[in-house]
Structure 1
Amino acid sequence: MADRVRGMPAAGAVPTPGLGVVMEADAEHAGRTPATLTVRSDQLLDALPDPTYVVDVDFTQEPPDCRVVWVGHALAEATGFSQEELMATAPRLVTASDSTALREALHARLPVAVVRSVARADGTAFRATVSFSPLGAGEPEGSTRWLVTVRDATEELASAVLAEERAAAEERARRGLSLVARVSDILADADSATALVEIGALLVRRIVPWAGFYADGTRLQRITDLAGITYHRRDLRRGARAQGVGSDPVRELLLDTRMQTVVIDRDRPAREGTLTAELLALLAEDPDAPDDGPLWLLPVLGRQAVLGVLAVQPPDPSRDRRAMPPGELTTVLELVARRVGMAMDNLQLYDREHRLAETLQRAMLPEQSHVEGVDVWSYYSPSSEHAQVGGDWYDVLDMGEGKVGIVVGDVVGHDVEAAAAMGQLRSVVRAYAAEFVEPGKVLDRVDRLVAGMRIARPASFVYASLSPRADGEDWDIAYSRAGHLPIVHVSGGRSRQLDGANGPLVGFGGRPRHTGHAVAQPGDVLIFYTDGLVERRDRSMRDGVAALVATAEQIDAPDAAGIGEELLQELADAPEDDIALVVLRVPDPAAPALRWSGPRERRWQMPMDPQTIARARHAVLRACEAWGIEDTAAAELVASEMVANAVMHGWGRVDLRLRDTGDGLRIEVEDANPSPPVLREGRVGRIGGFGLHIISRLAEWGWRPTPAGKVVWARVRPKDPWSKGKDAKDTPPTTS
């Protein structure tokens, strides 16, 4: 190694006090004779690309003493101060620092860099990265000498800020797009009854402190169901004219089909009687809603109208660092409102088509007539996979003189054309059944007429007529089939198929139809059905009919409704097609009352007709008789009042359901009117309006909404629910 030589100042140069640089030369490494290099320290430091100076920091004093021992020309040019001025002001870059990390690094003699504001001579300043590099011991003894580099970081910091802003904007954009995608997933997968709740909770988790959906029906109300409000909507334009001139932002938003954001100032009270006042009143009653602050309202747009309002509380940027700027937040909320609006519109459009199809189906499907002398129960259920329109139908005809006609048929298809063909065939069969007694002749005439009508859909059906014999006990059965499934006849605990008198489908006869005959005795059961009851993907039609025959033999229900319930539970738990089912039972007054293990549930589908009230009372009596319930007066009255309310105030059809719960009789009446029942105040002289008061006195009651309307229920607790003649050890039956 070469000897270490302290560099000496060159001739004519003014030395910098106390500053020296030691240079080493390795002769062997350099490949030449050892030599001594002498370099001016200030020239070496001035050759550095960045402005620099050298400072001694004495930590033996408090606060630490800083003394500049050298200042480069580049620092003087960057600041505009002379080197002499910088000798006095440069220590402030160290002593003015309040950074604990900087002081600890200098005390430990470790390199460190900080960002400081450096003043210029013209009064301005610039941001700079100030780096401290240790050089060794300084003067006086105990101090440390540091090389300080001052690098202008204005552009660098600006680029870093811009990059940070870009990263934040990208993160907000990703968050917004992720939220919109999640909303789309909820609308596609979630149950419509909870979709708006999930979307509101998602908005609160991601971008806003609070959110809720509102719609106007008979009044403004918060909605949680994606179906919204499709009934009894107020005429807002007429209401605005009647209300007079005045500001009502909510009403204006519901009447305008443009996407916009309306801001409501909670500090300014809304005019009484406006929809805005209704909204603020709803928020005041909601414990989760904000008590103050502005509200943003966005329309939930359908194709042709505003279906609702999305109300949100915008975030406070001073409290939420990740809050979206107003413009970006508005864009995300508009996308959410548009997607919700389209989903609501599609759901309401489907619901309207569904109701139209079901109305058409029900209008063409006849309701069961009450026939004296026999116990008849009928049931129809459309396939849930289709538009609630199909070609299955049934008809029960009271032909006078104790005669009964029963028709069950099936037109191929599940569309409006199939329903129209079904309606035509039903009318034709009903007309010819009234004219001709023999079923074979009825089918002959139907064949001829259908061929002339050019009904494009093939159809099958079975027609049977029952008439009492002279002895008054047995019944004659005459039937004829047009490619339809055989009737199941249950007699004496044995089942058999009435598979005679079969022929081609309707319209394809070409030759005379035949009539089959059988005899029904008291207690016998006849089952008419369509293929939806017996056919499945995992079993053939033949196996399905065999299962029906075997199931019918095991049923010991004493009434047609009970037999039908058991058939549905055993065979139609997951139907894949429309089901039409008619069960006829010949009453047997001499049969002993037996305990039976079937389901203690009943259901009936009845028309919106005053005669339905009497049928409901009769149904309750028949069910209570089958279940051994003797105290039926209260149940009859409650059922008749509930059905009367449905007939008077509802629409669609009336569904009556009974269930023996073990401690009483539960009665349910469903109709298509979603409006809740109203308990009116009783007044002297009022005609009607006392039905719910009567029900309240005799039973517990309530109601619940359904996708198709509402259900009103009541539970009647009779004085002696079980048959008086039973053994005291008997236990009440449980509900199946």
Structure 2
Amino acid sequence: MVNSHTHPTSEQSLDRALELALASTAVPMALLDASQPDLPVVWVNAAFEAATGYGLDGARSRHGDVVEGSALRPSDVDALTAAVREERPVSQTLTLRRADGTRLTCRAHLSPVRDREGPAAHWVVALQDLTEQLSHDAEQAALVEVERRERRSLGLIAQVSDLLMDVDDPHALREIAMMLRRALVGWAAFYLNDGGLRAADGIGPGHPPSGKGQRHGDAHPGDAHRAALRVTSTATGALPILRGAPARFPRDVVQLLLDGERDRPVELDLDGTYAPGSASDWLARHVGQDPGHDGRTTGDRRAVVYPVPGRRRVLGVLVVLPRDAGGLAAVEPSTMTVLELTARRVGLVVDNARLYDREHRLAETLQRAMLPEQAEVDGLDVWTYYAPNSENVQVGGDWYDVLQIAPDVVGVVIGDVVGHDVEAAAAMGQLRSVVRSYTFDITSPGPVLERVDQLVTGMRIPRSAGLVLSTLTRSGGGWRLEYSRAGHLPVLLVREREATQLLDAGGPLIGFGGHGRGTAAVDLLPGDFLVYYTDGLIERRDRGLRDGLAALAGVAAHVTALDAAGIGEELLSRLADHPEDDVAVVVVRVPDPRDQLERARSPRRRRWSLPNEPASIGRARHAVVRTCQAWDIPEAANAELVVSELVANAVLHGYGHVSLQLYDTGDGLRIEVEDGNPAPPVATDGHPGRVGGFGMQIVERLADWGWRQSRGGKLVWAKIRPGALPPGR
């Protein structure tokens, strides 16, 4: 063990020093007897005793137990055995059992000890404590896992934000729920509070519910006893609650969320018993019966319900089923954070969408209320059209008016107030009233606009506006047009396939006159027609105003229609298929005695954009009757019934604008009605005990019909069946 050239006295000193060094080193060490098969321990140092709790006697008596509890794999045992047999150094990671029962993970380095030539007499074992290294590795792994979870959370929130950007997507909330299910939870769904909880796929208040379409508060088969329960409204005015519910029922935790009394997620036992008709009862049954929910996913029937908060009230709930059993306690903190942020972001977007929708509907209602019905003018053919920008769903200040000032005098006005909001619509309403009043009093366009300038300046209307005011006066067998322009696009006069812009009598915007307004005049001949329009008809991002005016003139000069509605339809189909702003159009045509001889040249297509309100049903009936008369279609009465039912369904069950289109197919009339609800129409047997429910039966009796999805919802069509008798005959 020592150098043979060492002096004997020095050898003894060195052996003693080595012995002391081995005993004093901080590295746990032991000496094993190689002459015995089980390599018993014959010496340990103090560091070994401190590390394992075993002295020499304990190590000798327990070393078999220590090895047996080392958690070695069979392959590791084989490798150690081979190394000992071949007397070569070997290292192996072990988990040893200390004297106090705790575990020591270490790296054992075994080396054979030879005195001279021949087999090893002993094995020396040095233990390297890995506890600190493993703790460091575990800490690093934990940090990496935390970072991974944070990245995953940020990625999920970013995906949620991306999905919420398209508020018109009817499946946005369903997509978010599916994303949460793939990444975090066993199952998820959103339920919005629209006069009662409903399963929601999209953001808008009118988006149809998923599943069976039931909502909290709807009647359920077999639950007749609930009708006797006394139901009132909560403070939110949205969900029913029960007064005098039996005390044996637990608190309605879902209602507490909806009422804002709790702002933290709650646990809902899907197999629990709740007060009949309560929010918790409805939600537990609905989630349990949802076809997308598989209770075996988690092995647990406890859902976690998160509030979806708006600015002033809770708009709904997000319901999830954790992947692991344990309900709320099983939701990891990082998952909890993602779910809460998702619910808050959804709530903010839903609230903004609802707020915008309310403002839009208010402005649209105000604007529609001030637009006149289709005017009936003796001696003139008049057609009017208005549609807001369908892509941006904005309401602007475009407006028109047709006035029967006297039996032989008709006033026509078209204008545009700057802006797309309630203020623009209100300014339009004020301006329309002022122009109407002065036109009935003064009649001549120039002086009327001068008075309007004076009054508008005093009224301090906050928005700029332009308009064209004109009067048509019957003169012998024709009509005389007088007009004045206030910062608006010129009226187009078309005569014998030649389009002329009426550019005279121009002036600044309303309120900026100051120096008087002129009046220009032109005599109209039979067959002439005038086109009044706002800039939405001609303006596009890819072309200038001059090019738009030239395009309008080119289309108008080549129309083949011989009635105002047909002319307007050709203009819209060629120029306004994809408008970038609101569109208002008025077409006035002086009838020509030759019209009846050439009526077959008129295109057989008409369209109307109607507000989602009951008054549109009457307007649609009137439109289809007039069209059948113009096209000499005999089934006008049947068409009136069919269009009445289709538009009524769109108004009652749809949302957004209602589009009505009529086509003469050559063998009958085709009616198309489009609204924003993608849910299909359903023919029922009526509603026992109350009026209604027979609309589609009437349509089936009189027409062939069907439906298809459209970009903005659904389109229902009906082809009037020739010779069909109306119901009751």
TM-score normalised by structure 2 residue count: 0.79
1:300 paired to 2:297 = no
Query: In the aligned structure 2, how far is the partner of 1:267 from the partner of 1:334?
Result: 25
Query: In the aligned structure 2, how far is the partner of 1:527 from the partner of 1:262?
Result: 63
2:534 maps to what in 1?
Answer: 530
Stretch deviating more after TM superposition (694-703 or 259-268)? 694-703
For the aligned residue pairs, the C-alpha RMSD in angstroms reads 4.5
Are 1:638 and 1:695, in contact at CA under 8 Å, matched by a contact in 2?
yes
Q: 1:363 to 1:603 in 2, by over 3 A?
A: closer
Q: Which amino acid aligns with 1:713?
A: V
Q: Which amino acid aligns with 1:296?
A: V
1:83 maps to what in 2?
Answer: 56
Q: How far did residue 345 of structure 1 move?
A: 1.4
Q: 1:661 to 1:345 in 2, by over 3 A?
A: farther
Q: How far did residue 155 of structure 1 move?
A: 5.1
Identity %: 44
Q: 1:134 to 1:257 in 2, by over 3 A?
A: same
Are 2:110 and 2:124, in contact at CA under 8 Å, matched by a contact in 1?
yes
Query: In the aligned structure 2, how far is the partner of 1:690 from the partner of 1:367?
Result: 29
Are 2:456 and 2:510, in contact at CA under 8 Å, matched by a contact in 1?
yes
1:5 maps to what in 2?
Answer: none
Stretch deviating more after TM superposition (196-205 or 267-276)? 267-276
Q: Which amino acid aligns with 2:253?
A: P
Out of 97, 108, 115, the residue aligned to residue 118 of structure 1 is 97
2:344 maps to what in 1?
Answer: 338
SS at match of 1:259: coil
SS at match of 1:371: coil
> For residues 43-62 of structure 1, what are the structure 2 equivalents within 5 Å?
45-46=22-23, 48-55=25-32
Q: 1:424 to 1:43 in 2, by over 3 A?
A: closer
Q: 1:364 to 1:142 in 2, by over 3 A?
A: farther
1:204 maps to what in 2?
Answer: 181
1:487 paired to 2:466 = no
Q: 1:399 to 1:654 in 2, by over 3 A?
A: farther
1:718 paired to 2:714 = no
Query: In the aligned structure 2, how far is the partner of 1:354 from the partner of 1:707?
Result: 20
2:367 maps to what in 1?
Answer: 361
SS at match of 1:353: helix
Q: 1:399 to 1:706 in 2, by over 3 A?
A: farther
2:519 maps to what in 1?
Answer: 514
Out of 495, 500, 503, the residue aligned to residue 496 of structure 1 is 500
- CA offset digits 1:572-627 (Å, max 9, x no partner): 345444432111233446334566696845224479576x6565344325545777
Query: In the aligned structure 1, how far is the partner of 2:167 from the partner of 2:32?
Result: 70
1:603 maps to what in 2?
Answer: 608
Query: In the aligned structure 2, how far is the partner of 1:57 from the partner of 1:300?
Result: 73
- CA offset digits 1:35-73 (Å, max 9, x no partner): 996754755643543222233679xxxxx9322363223
Are 2:486 and 2:510, in contact at CA under 8 Å, matched by a contact in 1?
yes
1:391 paired to 2:397 = yes
Q: Which amino acid aligns with 1:715?
A: A
2:551 maps to what in 1?
Answer: 547
Out of 126, 137, 151, the residue aligned to residue 149 of structure 1 is 126
Are 1:558 and 1:626, in contact at CA under 8 Å, matched by a contact in 2?
no
Q: How far did residue 139 of structure 1 move?
A: 13
SS at match of 1:603: strand
Stretch deviating more after TM superposition (295-304 or 581-590)? 581-590
Query: In the aligned structure 1, how far is the partner of 2:353 from the partner of 2:718?
Result: 34
Are 2:197 and 2:316, in contact at CA under 8 Å, matched by a contact in 1?
no
Query: In the aligned structure 1, how far is the partner of 2:66 from the partner of 2:690?
Result: 95
1:734 maps to what in 2?
Answer: none
SS at match of 2:40: strand
SS at match of 2:38: strand
Query: In the aligned structure 2, how far is the partner of 1:436 from the partner of 1:212?
Result: 64
Stretch deviating more after TM superposition (103-112 or 486-495)? 103-112
Out of 362, 371, 376, the residue aligned to residue 370 of structure 1 is 376
Are 1:409 and 1:461, in contact at CA under 8 Å, matched by a contact in 2?
yes
1:408 paired to 2:414 = yes
- CA offset digits 1:272-312 (Å, max 9, x no partner): 32222222332233222132521000110111111010100
Are 1:462 and 1:481, in contact at CA under 8 Å, matched by a contact in 2?
yes
SS at match of 2:286: helix
Are 2:31 and 2:43, in contact at CA under 8 Å, matched by a contact in 1?
yes
Q: Which amino acid aligns with 2:267?
A: V
Q: How far did residue 706 of structure 1 move?
A: 10
Query: In the aligned structure 2, how far is the partner of 1:660 from the partner of 1:144?
Result: 111
SS at match of 1:340: helix
- CA offset digits 1:88-110 (Å, max 9, x no partner): 43355446654223223221445
Are 1:495 and 1:549, in contact at CA under 8 Å, matched by a contact in 2?
yes
Q: Which amino acid aligns with 2:377?
A: V
Stretch deviating more after TM superposition (589-598 or 368-377)? 589-598
Q: Which amino acid aligns with 1:657?
A: Q
Are 1:532 and 1:578, in contact at CA under 8 Å, matched by a contact in 2?
yes
SS at match of 2:347: helix
- CA offset digits 1:162-193 (Å, max 9, x no partner): 55445444443443344334433433467553
Q: How far did residue 396 of structure 1 move?
A: 1.4
2:291 maps to what in 1?
Answer: 287
Q: 1:126 to 1:676 in 2, by over 3 A?
A: closer
Stretch deviating more after TM superposition (380-389 or 407-416)? 380-389
1:10 maps to what in 2?
Answer: none
1:104 paired to 2:112 = no
Out of 263, 266, 269, the residue aligned to residue 262 of structure 1 is 266
Query: In the aligned structure 2, how far is the partner of 1:306 from the partner of 1:475?
Result: 62
Are 1:207 and 1:324, in contact at CA under 8 Å, matched by a contact in 2?
no
Query: In the aligned structure 2, how far is the partner of 1:606 from the partner of 1:206?
Result: 43
2:230 maps to what in 1?
Answer: none
Are 1:215 and 1:307, in contact at CA under 8 Å, matched by a contact in 2?
yes
Are 2:30 and 2:126, in contact at CA under 8 Å, matched by a contact in 1?
yes
Query: In the aligned structure 1, how far is the partner of 2:382 from the partner of 2:139?
Result: 82
Stretch deviating more after TM superposition (437-446 or 191-200)? 437-446
Query: In the aligned structure 2, how far is the partner of 1:186 from the partner of 1:415?
Result: 26
- CA offset digits 1:213-253 (Å, max 9, x no partner): 11233443211212356999973458324463543222222
- CA offset digits 1:471-529 (Å, max 9, x no partner): 4xx433333333433221222222222333444544415346324022231x4321011
Are 2:375 and 2:383, in contact at CA under 8 Å, matched by a contact in 1?
no
Q: How far did residue 267 of structure 1 move?
A: 3.4
SS at match of 1:66: coil
TM-score normalised by structure 1 residue count: 0.78
Query: In the aligned structure 1, how far is the partner of 2:677 from the partner of 2:458?
Result: 41
Query: In the aligned structure 2, how far is the partner of 1:459 from the partner of 1:412?
Result: 6
Are 2:255 and 2:280, in contact at CA under 8 Å, matched by a contact in 1?
yes
Q: Which amino acid aligns with 1:393?
A: W
Out of 573, 577, 583, the residue aligned to residue 579 of structure 1 is 583
SS at match of 1:350: helix
Q: How far did residue 717 of structure 1 move?
A: 4.5
Q: Which amino acid aligns with 1:346?
A: N
- CA offset digits 1:647-669 (Å, max 9, x no partner): 89999986533356789755344
Q: How far did residue 132 of structure 1 move?
A: 3.2
SS at match of 1:347: helix
Q: 1:118 to 1:643 in 2, by over 3 A?
A: closer
Q: How far did residue 203 of structure 1 move?
A: 1.4
Stretch deviating more after TM superposition (390-399 or 620-629)? 620-629
1:223 maps to what in 2?
Answer: 200
- CA offset digits 1:522-561 (Å, max 9, x no partner): x432101123323445544333222211111122134323
Q: Which amino acid aligns with 2:240?
A: G
Q: Which amino acid aligns with 1:116?
A: T
Listed as ranges, the gaps of 5+ residues in structure 2 are 209-214, 218-232, 725-729
Are 1:295 and 1:313, in contact at CA under 8 Å, matched by a contact in 2?
yes
Q: Larger radius of gyration, structure 1 or 2?
A: 1
Query: In the aligned structure 2, how far is the partner of 1:270 from the partner of 1:138?
Result: 85
